[in-house]
Structures are given as C-alpha cells and as structure tokens.
Amino acid sequence: MLEIKNLHASVEGEDIEILKGVNLKVNAGEIHAIMGPNGSGKSTLAKVVSGHPEYEVTEGEILFNGEGITELDADERAHMGLFLAFQYPVEVPGITNKTLLREAYNTIARANDREELDPLEFEDYITEKLDVIEMKDQFLSRSINTGFSGGEKKKNEIFQMAVLNPVLSFLDETDSGLDIDALKVVSEGVNKIANDKNAIVMITHYQRLLNYIKPDHVHVMMGGKLIKSGGFELAEELEANGYDALEKELVLNGEAQ
C-alpha cells in the first residue's frame, strides 16, 4: 500500500535535512508503530507523507498504491485515502465539525466518483460514527476544536478519521496529553476503524498507546532514519532500556552513523 524509499526531506527554503533516508513498507491490514526520541523526525515523516507544504522532498520517493505522490497537494493525497491525525489539532472558530466533515466527505467522494451525501443523509451517517469515540451529538455543531480540551481534540481527530474512512492513517502522537480514560476511548475507536483493507501508522514517544493498539511492526526512528524494526518485543525492549541503550548497542554493532 505505502512504500517509502530512501526519503530525504528538508524544511522548504532551508538547508537543514530532517529526514535522511527513510525506508518503510506498509501493507493493507497492518498496524505499524514508529517510536523514537524527540526531534528524531517522526512527526516530520507524517507531515511529509501527508503533503505539508513546509517540507520539501529532496531525494527518494513515496509510493501510494504504486503511484508516486511527492508532487501532489495535501488535498489530492487525502482524496486517495491518506489521513493525518494531528499532534496539535488546529482550532477553527466559526466552522462547525459537521460543516467541515460534510465538505471533506463530499469532496473526497467527488474525487473518487462516489455518490455525495445530502445534508440529511450525511446527518445520519455522521451521527452513527459518533459511537466510535463515545461523543454526544452536540459535538457536531461545535466549532472545530475551539475550546476543546486536549482529550476532546484528539478524540475529534479519530472521529474525523472514522467519518472520512481513509485507507492509510498516520496518527501523530495521538496518545500525548490523554488521561487513561480518554486513552482507552481513543484506542478503542482506532481498533474499531482498523480492518484488513486499511492500515495505520502510529507515531509515539511512549509504549503506553501500544498496550491498547497492538502493532504488527515496530520501528525505531533516530536522526531522521528508521534504524531498527521488529515486532512488539522491540517496543517492550525500548520501554525497559530506553533509547540510549539502543543507540549504544547500534554504535557497538557499527550500524549507527
């Protein structure tokens, strides 16, 4: 589904390289976790894949279902089924959740020659999806993320994901700032959305999210590269020994720069 080959990226207009050759392959039905210390490039990877204009791909490619997408705008990538749950969801006063989601849903439907939903049909559809994150329907008529608590903002991201039904979702530190109850709701929501046709890449600093959403593959990112991949046991190892131990081990083996 997603294939990232030797991806290098910098901040647009600046000479500082943040991604320094990322390789990653994600298949349908898989859940991946990318872990790493602060500043390792995890969030940048998610933004570059979703088409953030602040970054420039300087080398390598991103293939989505076999098609190169590095030249596409963020909305075109969304139309293909890419989704990013933001680490810091943006507040947009004056536009309700429902307005944004109907516009988004129908724009994506149009781009894929699927039928659009009229306001009434959409109301039914969206109300059903509220169950995914256990929210009341007032949530729909509130302005996007405006005055939301940290937990509500993250729930809103997962709710949007449920409504837009993407093929591949990047969840950027969706667990940060969540108390244990909210974490459970959000995780259960993600688990309800996950199926054998879609894929999820979670980006996180801590293992605690992975106790609720079991990844098939765990990758460690450091210095703008995925330096080690493995199964769930890799996450446990990191939690026990920390990133420093892993870094030392790789240096000893001559694998790190």
Q: What is the nearest approach in angstroms of another protein to the Cβ of residue 257?
A: 31
Give the separation between CA 7 and CA 58, rounded to whole angstroms: 8
Question: Could you tell me what percentage of the chain is helix, strand and coil, using 3-state DSSP and rounding each to the nearest 5?
Answer: 40, 30, 30
**C-alpha dihedral, 245 to 249 to 250 to 253, nearest 10°:** 170
Tokens of 203: 């980006």
Contact with another protein (CB under 8 A) among 6, 27, 58, 95: 95
78 is an interface residue for another protein by CB under 8 A: yes
Q: What is the nearest approach in angstroms of another protein to the Cβ of residue 12?
A: 10
Counting beta carbons within 10 angstroms of the beta carbon of residue 155, is it exposed (0 to 12), middle (13 to 18) or buried (19 or more)? buried
Contact with another protein (CB under 8 A) among 24, 32, 83, 156: 83
Cβ nearer to another protein, comparing 114 with 184: 114
Contact with another protein (CB under 8 A) among 2, 7, 34, 108: 108
Tokens of 96: 């309700």
CB atoms within 10 A of CB 114: 11
73 is an interface residue for another protein by CB under 8 A: yes
139 is an interface residue for another protein by CB under 8 A: no
β 82-85/168-172 pair status: parallel
DSSP category for residue 37:
-
132 is an interface residue for another protein by CB under 8 A: no
Closest-CA residue to 102 (of 83, 87, 88, 116): 116
Counting beta carbons within 10 angstroms of the beta carbon of residue 16, is it exposed (0 to 12), middle (13 to 18) or buried (19 or more)? exposed
86 is an interface residue for another protein by CB under 8 A: yes
103 is an interface residue for another protein by CB under 8 A: yes
Contact with another protein (CB under 8 A) among 13, 15, 66, 93: 93
Cβ nearer to another protein, comparing 5 with 52: 52
With H, G, I as helix, E, B as strand and everything else as coil, classify residue 186. Answer: helix
Q: Are 194 and 9 in contact (CB under 8 A)?
A: no
Q: What is the nearest approach in angstroms of another protein to the Cβ of residue 100?
A: 6
Taking CB under 8 A as the binding criterion, the range among 67-75, 122-130, 229-237, 239-247 that sits at the site for another protein is: 67-75
Closest-CA residue to 156 (of 199, 189, 192, 201): 189
Query: Would you give the binding string for another protein spanning residues 7-46, x where CB under 8 A is met?
Result: ----------------------------------------
94 is an interface residue for another protein by CB under 8 A: yes
84 is an interface residue for another protein by CB under 8 A: yes
- Given the rule CB under 8 A, which residues bind another protein? 50-54, 73-75, 77-79, 83-84, 86, 89-90, 92-95, 99-101, 103-105, 107-108, 111, 143, 160, 164
